[in-house]
Amino acid sequence: MAKLRPFLRLYRRHSWRLLIGVILAIVTLLASTGLLTLSGWFLAASSLAGSAGLYSFNYMLPAAGVRGAAIIRTVARYFERLVSHDGTFRVLQHLRVFTFSRLLPLAPAGLSHLRQGDLLNRFVADVDTLDHLYLRVISPLCGALVAIVVVTLGLCWLDVSLALTLGASMLLTLLLLPPLFYRAGRPSGEIITVERARYRLQLTHWLQAQAELSLYGSVEEWRSQLDTVEQRWQQAQRRQASLTGLSQALLLLISGATVTLLLWLSAGGVGDWPQPGALIALLVFCSLAAFEALAPVGTAFQHLGQVFASAERVSEIIEQTPAVQFPAGQRADIPAPGTLALKAVTFSYPDAVSPALQRLTLTVNVGETVALLGPTGCGKSTLLQLLTRAWDTQHGEIWLQGMPLRQWSEPALRATISVVSQRVHLFNQTLRDNLLLAAPGSSDEALSVMLAQVGLEKLLAGEGLNAWLGEGGRQLSGGELRRLAIARALLHNGPIMLLDEPTEGLDAETEQHILALLARVTADKTVIMVTHRLQGLDKVDRIYVMDQGEIIEQGTHAELITKGGRYWHFQQRFTL
């Protein structure tokens, strides 16, 4: 239960709506019980009265009661479904928001050990499973308890011993069946949760890697692995279905035995009536209707295994302490422009054999444009991630505008730095929405001008900024995605710009256009550009050549060319 507490607290936000749903569910159960009880007695009593009792038997009052119970049941069921599902969806909404708010501070350090498919499955499928707690456990359990109490007290007016017999049978059923089938169903529920996640993850990988698997003849091998996972998942589902059938069979058996016992006991008399007559039918039909309230309970507790397993999977993530923590309670004001300095910075990724950066010292003055050059894996992109505090250094310190980076509030840091990352995400939204995430207050005119500046004015053809991008809409090429990222960074307009391969995937003409644009709009900004391409490096203020996490050369383009070192070799290879 400890794993469920953080999620159960979210139910308090909608406690009244959920409580009304439970009350309506109870009213529905009582109306159903009353309808069947009264109908059974009415038919039996009418039959016994016969034509001779046509003028002495009151047909109108029971008939009105039957109609009233039917109407109450129908109306209560409708509003119970409406209120309960509305409350459940609202709880699910807050569950998602709560889970996502706990995930965000963990990225990327706390989530680096998880595959994207597994993370998505926990966020979507496992969170969805948590809503079973109210609809399949809490509401049916409350309804069953109230039904037992009301039916027992109601029958006490006729015969206390018979009422207690029925109440005791129902209560024992409620106390014994759910724990029994919870213990029996928990292993299957856990297997279903785990294998479902594994199946979806492997299926995603299998679909995404179809080209490579076909080329190397491994399609059947991967399909066989997928079939094995699917079989384990289906076996667990079959065991769960068998337990569901068994619980219903036991409930039917107990119900039948209780009805038979009441029929036998009531034959000798009911309360003050030695000749019970139609009261026997009342007791029998009341027992049958009352046991219907217990029908969902045994099945519901089987789902607790899945609920607990899902709660544990989600808690494994959200209970982590973020590796990077920003100071709280600070304003988002951006300090005056100042120097960016890295002092003997060392950083290693978890489980890495060697450090990504080793005692790296670097200084970038206000308004300077510097380029980081070097082979893949030398630490260039890692340096940019440290500047945005995606990770924290293990040794050394980073100073930004006269203040240690660890002392910056998150809003101030995000407002100060504009980033063009290697991986550009295209949201399944309109073109306008994809731009406004960088500058929410921008006008449509400003967005259109920026698209024209980066050479994406053709995206405005047709629906303009309302054009749908991503899934179900227009897909962008690699070069278009890169220019969209640059447009976002320019709209964000922070005093410091971090560019990670800003011209990757662009043709030579577009590259020249983008570099000229960046030079123009960043004339008064501090720019750090990571690149493998040597185009335009003669115009930057300083070039740093990196290798194995260290700076091995630094200087201007002219200085490094005359040295004849690593940068000179890069230039020679590029020229050839």
Q: Tens of pLDDT along 368-408?
A: 889 998 888 888 888 998 998 888 888 989 998 888 888 88
Q: What is the mean pLDDT of residues 281-293?
A: 86
Whether the model clears a pTM of 0.75, i.e. scores above it, the answer is: no
Distance of CA 478 to the CA centre of its chain: 29
Q: Confidence band (pLDDT; 50, 70, 90) for 74?
A: very high
Q: Confidence band (pLDDT; 50, 70, 90) for 498?
A: very high
The DSSP code for 503 is T
Complete DSSP assignment for 357-371:
EEEEEEEE-TT-EEE
Q: Confidence band (pLDDT; 50, 70, 90) for 350?
A: confident
Place of tokens 């740093």: 544
For residue 2, what are the contacts with CB-CB under 8 A and spacing of at least 6?
A: none
Domains of the chain and CATH, by start: 2-318 (1.20.1560.10), 340-426+476-575 (3.40.50.300)
- H/E stretch holding 46 reads helix 15-49
Q: What is the mean pLDDT of residues 283-311?
A: 80
- Which pLDDT score, from 0 to 100, does residue 556 have? 87
CB 413 within 8 A of CB 388: yes
- Which pLDDT score, from 0 to 100, does residue 78 have? 93
- Which pLDDT score, from 0 to 100, does residue 222 have? 85
Distance of CA 477 to the CA centre of its chain: 29
The DSSP code for 108 is T
Q: Rounded to 5 degrees, what are φ and ψ at 55?
A: -100, -10
Place of tokens 């029925």: 166
Distance of CA 151 to the CA centre of its chain: 42
Q: Which range has the worst mean pLDDT, 33-42, 54-63, 285-294?
A: 54-63
CB 438 within 8 A of CB 474: no
Instruction: Give the number of other Cβ atoms within 10 Å of residue 332's Cβ.
Output: 12
Q: Residue 9: CA atoms inside 13 Å, Cβ hemisphere, count?
A: 6
Distance of CA 106 to the CA centre of its chain: 14
- Which pLDDT score, from 0 to 100, does residue 71 have? 92
